[in-house]
Amino acid sequence: MTQSVVVQVGQCGNQIGCCFWDLALREHAAVNQKGIYDEAISSFFRNVDTRVVGDGGSISKGKICSLKARAVLIDMEEGVVNEILQGPLRDVFDTNQLITDISGSGNNWAVGHKVFGSLYRDQILEKLRKTAEHCDCLQCFFIIHSMGGGTGSGLGTFLLKMLEDEFPEVYRFVTSIYPSDEDDVITSPYNSILAMKELNEHADCVLPIDNQSLFDIISKIDLMVNSGKLGTTVKPKSLVTSSSGALKKCYKKPFDAMNNIVANLLLSLTSSARFEGSLNMDLNEISMNLVPFPQLHYLVSSLTPLYTLADVNVPPRRLDQMFSDAFSKDHQLLRADPKHSLYLACALMVRGSVQISDLRRNIERLKPSLQFVSWNQEGWKTSLCSIPPVGHSHSLLALANNTCVKPTFVELKERFMRLYKKKAHLHHYLQVEGMEESCFTEAVSSLSALIQEYNQLDATKNMPVQDLPRLSIAV
Amino acid sequence: MSIVTVQLGQCGNQIGFEVFDALLRDSHSSQGLCSKRENEAYQTSCKERFFSEEENGVPIARAVLVDMEPKVINQTLSKAAQSGQWKYGQHACFCQKQGSGNNWAYGPRWADHLRPGIRDQPGQCGETLSLLNIQKLVIVQNYNSILTLSHLYRSSDALLVHENDAVHKICAKLMNIKQISFSDINQVLAHQLGSVFQPTYSAESSFHYRQNPLGDLMEHLVPHPEFKMLSVRNIPHMSENSLAYSTFTWAGLLKHLRQMLISNAKMEEGKENSGWAGWLTPKTCLLFKSYSFAGPFLFCNFWGFFCLFSTRAYIHQYTKFGIEEEDFLDGFTLLEQVIASYCNL
């Protein structure tokens, strides 16, 4: 069994991270009734004897004493991390796992990447090494950050290169929140494109998400919950957005509901690696099956169902609806329409009381309406995990390597060019030591090359499958 | 004479468990068409072949469990122990932590670590029968299967091929299972595999069991090392519920099998199979034949392989761990030769 370390960077990264740890604890508490520290919990948590001072308190077996998250929290302002440390999760984090500063990055990628990168490099590395040493077999770093700001975007991507150099065998999965159209940070296109170059070069897998899509999903749930449809009631705690407690219309903090969706995504992604099932899927299999070429590693995700109806007996029709929804553009966590674009590969990670025949039936049913690239017509990867998420009887996470990411990148590039042509706000970046205009031009080139790859793939849509020459052997 | 089973990966371990479970339950079952003396002789032979006896009477399966991550092995070990009827040996496992990530290239480095564990199993027989299970579950399957098949062809005495799709149909149509799980599929497979290895009467007398079943099997079905692929059909298949209400005779079962054999031959445009053996075990009827679809089956794999290989998709995942393009082409060449041989029949 392997372990993963979560590195949460910046305000957005830490707020999502906080939701993730809360949900992870609840999930394991629901599954692990006896309070024994087992391999499933050990993937994200250490078991520590708090009476032991210093570093020697790890307990590898037996009853749970005190769980500590395998996490490193990084922010160049103190506000968010301080709030976490005063909240209900304060005991889950080790004070040794935090790196904070006071002034913040001013929504400036260059400050996050160049200034704080060099200032905190050694400290961050030391904390990461410590966290890695506590792992028996570290398999993956999960980085959570936003693209549009300064710390998450700049320092977060600085980390990526460092992780690749220092821990080359460990996978780097990045959850990136992309700026929406109505983003309030003017320089977000600059920050995002500078960050994209790093993601292109140093990430194994990126899960792009945008706030607008998350918001639309929340609205849809609210509508469903409040519509009072005859004969349906939503099970409490079953919303993909719910944190502790029953249905809540207004959340303590504005982004809580949206962050919980991302937290659910990360838990479902790792469920088949942590829990048993009839068809397991480890994290290294995600990269292996879904990334046919190293640079095409952007995976659009969708989580269904958004809520569970209170019916105890779920007939196959409802189950099939879960599969259909996974491919609808309204359920994607990014503004994207995979059904009308081209699939390079698709993973279906199912949790709960679903069997192989259900999977087969639905893949056969949905295949005709989906377009796969000619050289990977059977590009499906599936997994079955026995343990459903809290409050659900079954759920589905779909990961699509699909050309539908392209519009997001194209729009980002356009917004960038609108600013860059006028050199607007550029001086804020260029005055940072180590920053030159070439950083910008290289970043745009990198993105343009990526867009071009997707264009070439799209051009093959609707083309007949080629007759491939066979190698002939002298018999 | 005993048989050692090496259970590899999630599939191998899940099926392996069902096979040993079925073998032991079957040998203890009171239902049957034979006399008490026949049953006892059968039970002894079965146990001796697949299990070794422990002090407190719980048989230990003659098996080695291999996987690159621990979840499935742990589950398999505990399921066996929970049955109370049998278990796996304490030191019969070889396990790593990370899993192979569906990447064939992870495997070869562990060969030296694995060899001692298998050699140490007592009572090994000389022949190797490899059991290959096929279903399209993984995108890089075509790459992995070319590498697997070519290596197995060189190292095994015979390959027994099972297609999950066919078993799925048996579950759906013959056994009327509505929501088919892997457990259902594995139990059908276990029934088939158990039938393959169960003690069978030798030609001399009905109280002497064959001493070297695998050897006899190979002799009949693998006349030439070029033709190693086998398939098996067994009947009857029915749900537990129907069993109580059906009657069947040996004559009827054999007639059914012969019809199955003939209808398959028709699909091959009248060409004869190179060999078949009918095996009568005390409980069920088996038809073993050379895998007549070896040609088309390999060809289908090739098509998928070529589609990916033509664009070099996913190759970077293999070269990272030392498998180069030449390795794929070598594997392909060997299998192309096998196809040509089968087609020339």
Query: For the segment B88-147, what is each residue's pLDDT rounded down to a tens digit?
Result: 887 888 888 888 888 888 887 777 777 766 666 655 556 677 777 777 778 888 888 888
Residues A400 and A414 placed together within one structural domain of the fold: no
The burial class, CB within 10 Å (0-12 / 13-18 / 19+), for B61 is buried
- For residue A444, the one-letter residue type is V
In percent, the amount of chain B with pLDDT more than 70 equals 67
Question: Residue A281, SS3?
Answer: coil
Contact A356 B182 (CB under 8 A): yes
Query: For the segment B231-242, what is each residue's pLDDT rounded down to a tens digit?
Result: 776 666 655 555
pLDDT the model gives residue A196: 97
Contact B71 A288 (CB under 8 A): no
pLDDT the model gives residue B229: 77
List chain A pLDDT tens, one digit each, 475 residues.
899 999 999 999 999 999 999 999 999 988 888 888 888 899 999 998 877 766 666 777 788 888 999 999 999 988 999 989 898 888 999 888 999 998 888 999 999 999 999 999 999 999 999 999 999 999 999 999 999 999 999 999 999 999 999 999 999 999 999 998 877 899 999 999 999 999 999 999 999 999 999 999 888 888 877 775 544 556 656 667 665 443 334 445 668 888 999 999 999 999 998 998 988 888 999 999 999 999 999 999 999 987 655 444 445 567 899 999 999 999 999 999 999 999 999 999 999 989 999 999 999 999 999 999 999 988 999 999 999 988 888 899 999 999 999 999 999 999 999 999 999 999 999 999 999 999 999 999 999 999 999 999 999 887 766 555 555 444 4
pLDDT bin (cut points 50, 70, 90) of residue B196 is confident
Residues A328 and A386 placed together within one structural domain of the fold: yes
Question: Do the domain assignments include residue A150?
Answer: no
Say yes or no: A36 contacts chain B, CB-CB below 8 A.
Answer: no
pLDDT the model gives residue B209: 61
B236 prior amide bond cis, ω within 30: yes
Residues A353 and A437 placed together within one structural domain of the fold: no
How far is it, in rounded angstroms, from Cα B121 to Cα B66? 14
Residues A308 and A398 placed together within one structural domain of the fold: yes
Q: Report B:3-42 residues touching A (Cβ under 8 A).
A: 10, 14
Domains of chain B: residue spans and CATH:
2-290 (3.40.50.1440)
DSSP characters over B110-149: GHHHHHHHHHTSSS--S--EEEEEE---STTHHHHHHHHH
Distance from CA of A375 to the nearest CA of B (A): 5
Residues A343 and A412 placed together within one structural domain of the fold: no
Question: Do the domain assignments include residue A71?
Answer: no
pLDDT the model gives residue A94: 85
Contact B102 A289 (CB under 8 A): yes
Query: For the segment B297-306, what is each residue's pLDDT rounded down to a tens digit?
Result: 676 677 788 8
Residue ending a domain, choose from A363, A378, A405: A405
Residues A317 and A388 placed together within one structural domain of the fold: yes
**Entry pTM:** 0.87
pLDDT the model gives residue A251: 44
Tokens of A346: 């698709």
Residues A401 and A439 placed together within one structural domain of the fold: no
pLDDT the model gives residue A266: 94
Which range in A304-313, B37-46, B214-223, B234-243 is most confidently predicted, on average pLDDT?
A: B37-46
Give me the CATH number covering residue A391: 3.30.1330.20
Residues A307 and A401 placed together within one structural domain of the fold: yes
Residues A306 and A400 placed together within one structural domain of the fold: yes
CB atoms within 10 A of CB B310: 13
Residue ending a domain, choose from A361, A389, A405: A405
Residues A417 and A378 placed together within one structural domain of the fold: no
Question: Do the domain assignments include residue A443?
Answer: yes
Question: Do the domain assignments include residue A113?
Answer: no
pLDDT the model gives residue A18: 93
How far are the Cα atoms of A17, A253, A269, B214, B309 from residue A256, in angstroms, in the given order?
11, 6, 20, 63, 45
Contact A2 B98 (CB under 8 A): yes
With contact defined as beta carbons under 8 Å apart, do A53 and A62 qualify? no
Q: Which of B136, B140, B182 minimises the CB distance to A278?
A: B182
pLDDT the model gives residue B23: 85
Nearest CA in chain A to B338: A475
Residues A374 and A416 placed together within one structural domain of the fold: no
Beta strands B63-67 and B93-95 are parallel
Say yes or no: B72 contacts chain A, CB-CB below 8 A.
Answer: yes
Q: Tell me which DSSP letter residue B204 carries.
A: S
How far is it, in rounded angstroms, from Cα B294 to Cα A201? 43
Give me the CATH number covering residue A441: 1.10.287
Question: Do the domain assignments include residue A309?
Answer: yes
Question: Do the domain assignments include residue A132?
Answer: no
Distance from CA of A475 to the nearest CA of B (A): 7
Residues A374 and A314 placed together within one structural domain of the fold: yes
Say yes or no: B246 contacts chain A, CB-CB below 8 A.
Answer: no
Q: Which of A287, A375, A382 minimises the CB distance to B311?
A: A375
pLDDT the model gives residue A467: 56
Q: Print the domain residue range for A428.
A: 407-460
With contact defined as beta carbons under 8 Å apart, do A119 and A165 qualify? no
pLDDT bin (cut points 50, 70, 90) of residue B289 is low
How far is it, in rounded angstroms, from Cα A426 to Cα B35? 93
Number of domains chain A contains: 2
Q: What is the mean pLDDT of chain B?
A: 75
Q: Which of B180, B337, B340 minimises the CB distance to A355?
A: B180
Q: CB under 8 Å to A12, separation ≥6 — which residues?
A: A144, A145, A146, A149, A152, A177
* Average pLDDT estimate for B12-27: 87
Say yes or no: B340 contacts chain A, CB-CB below 8 A.
Answer: yes
Nearest CA in chain B to A345: B139
pLDDT the model gives residue B264: 54
* Average pLDDT estimate for B263-285: 42
Question: Do the domain assignments include residue A386?
Answer: yes
* Average pLDDT estimate for B283-303: 64
Query: For the segment B144-186, what is each residue's pLDDT rounded down to a tens digit?
Result: 888 888 888 888 888 887 778 888 888 888 777 888 888 888 8
Residue ending a domain, choose from A389, A405, A421: A405
Say yes or no: A204 contacts chain B, CB-CB below 8 A.
Answer: no
pLDDT the model gives residue B133: 72
Question: Do the domain assignments include residue A411?
Answer: yes
